[in-house]
Amino acid sequence: MKYQKLFQQYNLSGNQLKNRFLMAPMTRSRASHPGDIPNALMAEYYAQRSTAGIIITEATQISLQGKGYANTPGVYSKQQIEGWKLITDAVHKNGSILFLQLWHVGRVSSSKVNGLQPIGPSPLTAQNTNVYIFDGAPNGDVTFVPVEEPREMNKIDISTVINEFVEGAKNAIEAGFDGVEIHGANGYLIDQFLRSNSNKRTDAYGGTMENRIRLLIEISKAVADAIGREKTGVRLSPFISFKDMSDPEILQTIMLAAAELNKLDLAYIHLCEVDWDDAPQIPIEFRMKLRDTFSNTIIATGNKTPEEAEQLLQDNLVDLIGFGRNFLTNPDYPAKVKQNLSLNKISDNHTLFGGGTARGYTDYPFIK
């Protein structure tokens, strides 16, 4: 077989994966309203893609305050838990493992989305950053609106957020998930605390790198204590700086965080990597140092070809490979890779976010 490692089974902290393909989290904004409730259409979508060994769901807000985009699902109400049960049942019947990505957007939000002023580590507005709403635009398109100035979080806010991550994790397990992924990447709340340009605090959660990783570590420990370390992963994005997140210290900060996460013996670290065509490559030295620092599973996601994925696995630099767009348009992506078949392309960009029908969501064809 051309891609021996990609198609090998893998044991992720007691979860036996049928292959090393991971379906990456992708926001699709299909939750039902009112209430941001997962639904049967979403269950069909995820079930179709359970050809992956493991699926990480789209980012899922842990509270209304944590919401930054329209029609994204939550995991903080009874109705949302019941909605997610449709999805976990469907995916498990097809033999795949499913983790829920826990999300708080922090300053990347607008009162036009959730009726609330955003919160963040410091009262700094993310420059050149937008979120989206649905306001009757043609073709059902999203309308982008600029983020608003956040309110600086106080100690009560920080404690509340930690508790919301814990409750979200417990709710995910109640809904039938195999585990959760703490979203610490892509310029959202935890990432905002990690970076010196967005975190100007002078208390125990700001200033030094040790202080800036504190929220990530406290959330990770609290979630692991609540549901089990083997059910807890973390997503980080050391090489992504959009949403006004450029920080010269971020690589050192991430490595310090990785050492602390290793002490917690979490299931995995998931690297969200740059995914545009001319993006810089992650230095091999960084991958080697991360492997030396973190003992458990390492995941890499970011527009990898099967050849690139196989090489990373063969070199033992990562253990699982995440694929996003290819799973979006090819629900049977692993089979297409195995048979070297051509891939479906995105049929209509208007259907990427929102819409309550199968068009551009569950109607991508399987191999005939």
**Structural tokens at position 52:** 């992956």
Which of 3, 10, 46, 188 is labelled catalytic? 188
- In angstroms, the CA 288 to CA 315 distance is 10
Closest CA to 263 of 223, 285, 295: 295
Residue type, 34: P
- In angstroms, the CA 223 to CA 232 distance is 7
361 annotated active-site: no
**In sequence order, what are the residues at sequence separation of 6 or more whose Cβ sits closer than 8 angstroms to the Cβ of residue 198?**
107, 120, 121, 122, 124, 126, 187, 191, 192, 244, 245, 247
Cα-based torsion angle of the residue sequence 253, 255, 256, 258 in order, rounded to the nearest 10 degrees: 120
Length of the chain: 368
**In sequence order, what are the residues at sequence separation of 6 or more whose Cβ sits closer than 8 angstroms to the Cβ of residue 41?**
30, 356, 357, 358, 361, 362
Active site positions, annotated: 188
